[in-house]
Each structure stands twice: as C-alpha cells, then as structure tokens.
Structure 1
C-alpha cells in the first residue's frame, strides 16, 4: 500500500490507501473541530474564514486562519522534500516512513494531552493542519494524484464529473467507473471517519489521538520493514 508508486500501483492498492488514511483524516478533522472549533483538513473553509475576518477588519482573528493554511502547506512541502530525498537515494520505504512520522506526531500529541499537559487550541489545530498537509501530499505523490485523503471539495467535484461520464453514452464510461468508485470510497471513508472520531472522542477523550497515532503506525510500519528488505534500484 505504501511501497508501490505511480504506475506500479493498481486500483485495489489505491482503494486500500484511500479507505485507511481518509478514515483517519476524517476522524482527526472532526475531533480537532470538537476540541478547538476549527477544521484542520478543510483549507477551503479556512481561506473563506480568513477572507471574511479581513473584510470585517478582524485582522488578529484572520491571522489564525492564515497560519493554519501556512502550516498545511508547510506539511505538504515537508513531505514532498522528504519523499524527494528518499527517491533520489532509492529508499523504497520513504512513503511509509513519512506516514510513520505522522503517526509518531499524532501519538505524541495524544500522550501529551492525556498527561494533562497544557496545549492551546491554536497549537492543537496547528499540529493537526501540519500532519494533514503531510498526509495529503504523501498520498498524492505515491498515487500520482489519484488519491487525496483530505481533498473533499476536489473529490466531490470528481464524483460529479464521473457521474456525468457514466450516465452519458460513450466510450468514457468504462474508464470513468473505477475513478468514480475510488472517489466515492474516499469521500465516504472521510465522512465515516468523522463520525467514528466524534464517537470515540466522546468515549475516550484525548486518548483518541493516541489510538489514531497507533493506527497510522500500524499502517506504515509494514511498508517501512518491507522497503528495508527490498530496496528500490536507482
């Protein structure tokens, strides 16, 4: 799931990747909103909120939304640089290692919160925005943009385009069906993850982040180990 890149991948691997990581992304996004009233995967909403605050003259409030956008972009840039570094050196496990790093960050956040260490709401959503940007970049790069785990607006648009291709007569129908299925799965997993995250947070409170970090590590570590055993030739 986190070893094969681009054309090496098939639809089944992409679906596993989309289902697993979109579910976790949706859960983190929902819990971040419940705790801090701010979305960490919804950059469209954050840009709109920034513009609204600026229009009202609330410069100080607008800055927080701009920071979240910058952290999301920074996470994506960090992931891209990390992946490029690994690809240039033939490190087959580089994508899995990036998701493992995300898992460590979320796990550490969960342990700090569960230990009652004081973390401001801004710091919480800032960390989550950073890891969401990282995750979205990793899935985009490994799948050559077929899978984007936090890009809900884009997925909804792609679903609309795919439905039109399926409904309208022509040869594009067969090619559109697998893409449509992938986008529907990704969007559904994100939504179900949000529901599951909210419910889990109600039961286990901030230990949710510890659980989410462990899930990310469970997804990533097999790829890390497999990549170490079978390095990619340069």
Structure 2
C-alpha cells in the first residue's frame, strides 16, 4: 500500500492505506482536542479564528492561530521534499521515511505530551498539526489525490455528489467505478470515526499515551507492507 503508485495502484491498495491513516487521524483529532483543546488534524477552523482575532486587533492570539496553519503547511512541505528527494535517491523508501518521521513525532508527543499539555499546549498542537500535514501530503501523493485522511469536509461533499450520481449512472462500468469510490469514502469515514472513538474512550485512562496506538499502527503498516513485498518478489522469482 506504500509502494504502488500510478497505474499499478488498485482500489485494494487505497482501501488499506485509507483504513490505516484515517484511523490514526481520527485518534489524533480526538486526543489532541481533549488534551489541549485545539483542532489538530486540519486548519479550516483555525482560519476563522485567525480572521476573528485580527479584526479584534488581538495580533498575538492571531499569530498563534497562524502558527497552527503554518505548521500544517510545513509538515506537508517537508513530506513533499522527502518524497521528491527519495524518488531520486532510493525510491523504495520514498513513502516509508515520511511515515517513520510521522511515527517519531507522535511517539514524542505520546510520551512527553501529558507532562507539558498545560504548560505548552500550542507546541503540542503545532507538533500534531505538523504530523498530520505530513500524512495528508503523503497519502495525497501516493493515491494521486484519491485518498484524504485528515479531515472530512471535502469527503462528505464528494460522498454526497457520488450518492446522487447513483440515480443517473446506469452503465455497468460507470456504476462499478462509482460504487468503488463510495466504498473508499465510507471506509475513510468509518475508520476516522473508529479512531476517534478509541482515542476518546482510552484517553481518560491513558491520557496522551493513547497515541502510542497510532505509532504502533503506522509501524505495523510499514512492516506488513515490507514483508508482503518480499513475499511477492520471492514468488515471482520462483515462477521464472
């Protein structure tokens, strides 16, 4: 799911990566909000708060909201740089390294976050937004903008459009593609919701340590992808 791009990428690949990363994003979304009362997976709401503070002439607070937006953008930029550089150096790791980097950020927040949540809430929020910016850029690049996992606004819009098209698209091929797309979007929504539920339920007991589940999921995805690729490679060699 982290290796195939372009024409070699299938719906199965997108469903796997959508399930994994939307679960992680859902958990980060809820845990980040419960821990520091900030939105940590998207920047749409932060734009509204930024403009509001500017009109109130509270420029210091406006700068804080600007930092949230900036760190999401910075995460996306860094992820893009990593992918482009690794494509030229060793394309086998072009998507693996950004996922590992995201895992390390979530690991640091999970371990040290509870101790600094009241003292440095903005730093924690920026860290999580940076990680989600990396993830959003990564999955957009891998899936050719088919999969988005860190926010649901556009997803529900696309889902509504596609559900309406079911009444008008009658050709078998068109309907097949439409149903595949709807299935993908429902998968993202359901796993985002599941990640949020898991994060919310276990936050009361484990605080931000619950983000370790996200770290394990990301690393497990990399390991699964690595061994599956090895098995397929060996199988192809044996057939020759």
- What TM-score does the superposition give when structure 1 sets the normalisation length? 0.89
User: Take 1:48 and 1:29, find their aligned partners in 2: how far apart are those partners?
Assistant: 18
Match of 2:65 in 1: 65
Match of 1:175 in 2: 177
Match of 1:142 in 2: 142
Given that 1:96 and 1:223 are in contact with CA atoms closer than 8 Å, whether structure 2 keeps it comes out as no
Offset at residue 58 of structure 1 (A): 2.2
- How large is the RMSD of aligned CA atoms in angstroms? 2.1
Q: Which runs of 5+ in 1 are unaligned?
A: none
1:92 and 2:88 correspond: no
Offset at residue 212 of structure 1 (A): 2.1
User: Take 1:47 and 1:121, find their aligned partners in 2: how far apart are those partners?
Assistant: 19
Match of 1:113 in 2: 113
User: Take 1:133 and 1:95, find their aligned partners in 2: how far apart are those partners?
Assistant: 14
1:156 and 2:156 correspond: yes
Change beyond 3 A, Cα 1:174–1:34: same
Offset at residue 169 of structure 1 (A): 4.0
Given that 2:75 and 2:133 are in contact with CA atoms closer than 8 Å, whether structure 1 keeps it comes out as yes
Larger radius of gyration: 2
Q: Which runs of 5+ in 2 are unaligned?
A: 234-240
Offset at residue 180 of structure 1 (A): 1.4
Given that 1:103 and 1:215 are in contact with CA atoms closer than 8 Å, whether structure 2 keeps it comes out as no
User: Take 2:91 and 2:223, find their aligned partners in 1: how far apart are those partners?
Assistant: 14
For residues 16-35 of structure 1, the aligned pairs below 5 Å read 16-35=16-35
Q: 1:215 aligns with which of 214, 217, 221?
A: 217
Secondary structure at the aligned position of 1:92 is classed as: helix
Secondary structure at the aligned position of 2:91 is classed as: coil
Q: 1:201 aligns with which of 200, 203, 212?
A: 203
Given that 2:26 and 2:150 are in contact with CA atoms closer than 8 Å, whether structure 1 keeps it comes out as yes
User: Take 1:24 and 1:146, find their aligned partners in 2: how far apart are those partners?
Assistant: 18
Q: How big is each residue's C-alpha offset from its partner over 1:119-165, in whole Å with a ceiling of 9 and x where there is no partner? A: 61001000000000000111110111111111311111110111111
Compare 70-79 and 34-43 and name the one that shifted more: 34-43
